[in-house]
Structure formats: C-alpha cells, structure tokens
Structure 1
Amino acid sequence: MRVVLASSSPSRLAVLRNAGIEPDVRTSGVDEDAVVADLPTDRRDPEAVVQALALAKARAVAEELADPEAVVIGGDSMLLIDGELQGKPHTEEETVRRWLHQRGKTAELLSGHAVLRGTARYTEVSRSRIHFAVASDRDIRAYAHTGEPFGCAGAFTLEALGGWFIDRVEGDPSGVLGLSLPVVRRALASFGLPVSAAWNRV
C-alpha cells in the first residue's frame, strides 16, 4: 500500500515511521488563511477549522498525485486555550509570549485528520488535554531560543525539549504529536484495509 503524508511535520512523519510506515512525504502548499476565510462565519468553530485545513491539504496532494490507490493523510493541529485557537509560532518573541500566557494552564490540542483513497474519504478530529507546567521565565526564554517550538501547535514538542514543561496529557498520545494512529486505523478500516497492509518498515 502506498501511504502519502500530506505534511512536512517531522512529528507526524516520526509517528508513522515508529508505527511501521515509511510514507511518501508531499507538502500541499495550501494557503491556510484562505481556507479559513472561505469557511462560512457560522462554521468557524475550532473543530471545523482544523478539519477544513486537514482536508484541504489532503485534497491538494491527492489531486497532484492522481493515484486512486494511494492513501493520502492530511493533518492540522491547533491549541484551544481560553476559548481561542492558537496557531503555530514562528519567532522567538511569539513563542515567549505564548508560553508566558499558557504556563500553568490546561488547554486542548485539536488535531484534524483527513484520509483519502480515490473517492473515499474519512475525516475526524482528535482532542487531547494538555496540562502545562509553571515554567520559569528563564526556561521559557531558553526554550524559545532553541527554535524547537517554531511551527509547532501549542508552541511545544512533547517528544523533545518541550516535554520538560508538560505535566500531564489526557487523551490520545499520538494525537498530541499531530497524527492519531487510532484515527488512521479507523480510516483504513473504513476503506476495508487492515493496518498491517500499510507496514513497510517492519
């Protein structure tokens, strides 16, 4: 089975590799702001936003491939904190600002998934609760200076340096990394495919 990851996220790629899949990696080039702007104003709730972005990315890559047998996986993650969706920080200053706001708080990480195969489609949003540590100003600035959290939902990477500042996670562990294995398993099952058919690193 050909599995195509419509994402440049190192975390999503690592999830699939550790689960026995070496996917083709394609970036979609989707204009995320345009996708959100095209949503009707009454359908811009947090789940709808991450789901629309995941689907747009998967569709763009699937159309480019034109391979009806390929399984294309698109994903998008955002942090929902204090009722507002947070995108990905891209600068040291923005990362520090985010962490000064979220330290000691609990938030939800929403990960939208869109899995396509030919004309078949499976979409689902996984939710996980993140309990942030009360990180010190010094550690926050040091973490931001590494650049590691740039481009990461929630301004952290659970599997690397950011793991020092996450006290607890409730929910799907792989979903926190941006790609839920249970969701992908359910998607494959909806296409009549066993998970083991996708393994190519075992």
Structure 2
Amino acid sequence: MDVLGDVLAAMRAGKPYAGRTRCWEPWGVRFPADDSACCHVVLQGGCCLISAQGAPVTLGVGDVLFTAPGHGHTLADRPGSPLIDFRPSRDGALITELNIPGEGAATEILCVCYSFERLRPHPLLSDLPPVIHLPARVGHHPALRATIDLMGDELQRPRVGTEAILAPLIDMLLLYVLRAWIDEQSGHAGAGWAAARPTRSSPPR
C-alpha cells in the first residue's frame, strides 16, 4: 500500500458526511476543532476562511480548501458576520445539508468531513499544514476537478444509488486533494509530504 493508501486506511474511523451548503449574506459557519478533517469547494459566489492560523483567506469559485484534524475554522461571507455552529445530521446520514437564509448574495459550497482515529493516527497526518488552499486554475488537477463535478451532481440531484456512489467519491476527493498538494510541493525541501512521492521501489498528479 502506498502512502496515500495508508492515510485512507487511517481515515476510516467513522462515517464521513457530505453536503451542499447554501448561504445568503450575511452568514458564517463555525466548524469545531475535533478529530475531523474538512474539505470545502466553492461552487457559487465566494467567501473567506477565518482561522487562528493567520489572516482571513478569500475563496472564489472553484477554490478547494482542506483543513487538517484538530483545527477549528470558520467560513463566512466576510469577517464579522453572524455565525452558527456546524452540526452534522444526528441520524448519521451520509448527506448533511445546510441552508442559511438571508437577503444578500448567495454562496454555495460543497462540504465534506472525514473522521480520523484518535488512538492510532497516521504519522504523516502530523506533517500536514493546518490549512491547504488549492486555488482554481485552468488545466490544474483535472482528476480532482472531475471528482468534484461528480460529487456536486449527486448532491444536487440525489436519486437511487447516490449514497453508494458518494462513499467512494468522498475517499477519492480526499486522496486527490492530498495528491494535488504533494504535487505542488515538488521542488521544495525533501521532507514530510513532499518526500512521499512514489518510486518504483518504495511506498503517491
């Protein structure tokens, strides 16, 4: 098993969940600092990331944001907007939807969260930065973009087989995000994730 396959195995501590979040200004959603990693993709409009790790980060359509386990964060239309706490569905459903009504411009975000095992964390997860931001760029990471399109379609029009299809797509989304980030580290100092690229003899865009 290669390094990303190891991470996928470590990820399977609990059921993931995914959904489309629709918000109208002013809005803000606070995600807790728990054992979950989150991936957000802006499908419409825009927002900003607010976290303790630095200045707010502006996100536009197509941008992908990954937050590592243990790092709480907030998504909002702008700093200072009213906040609500994000809570997944209590029935354990894979699909969790969130709608925040308002009078302003609309933003739509694809949100996915994964639970990791607290007692046996994968050592490479500690190498991840608190936040990975992959800006939308034409021609970059086509497999990641294709996975996002497939997930967005299933969540927009749930039908027979949607949950069975979403489960592997959620795994694929995480792996493609991590692979994209590894690729973007190429040329940096050979440590951590940047050193985890595959070779023919060892344990991957």
- The TM-score normalised by the length of structure 2 is 0.31
- The TM-score normalised by the length of structure 1 is 0.31
Per chain length, whose mean CA-contact separation is higher, i.e. which structure has more relative contact order (CA < 8 Å, sep 6+)?
A: 2
Q: Choose between structure 1 and 2: higher helix proportion.
A: 1
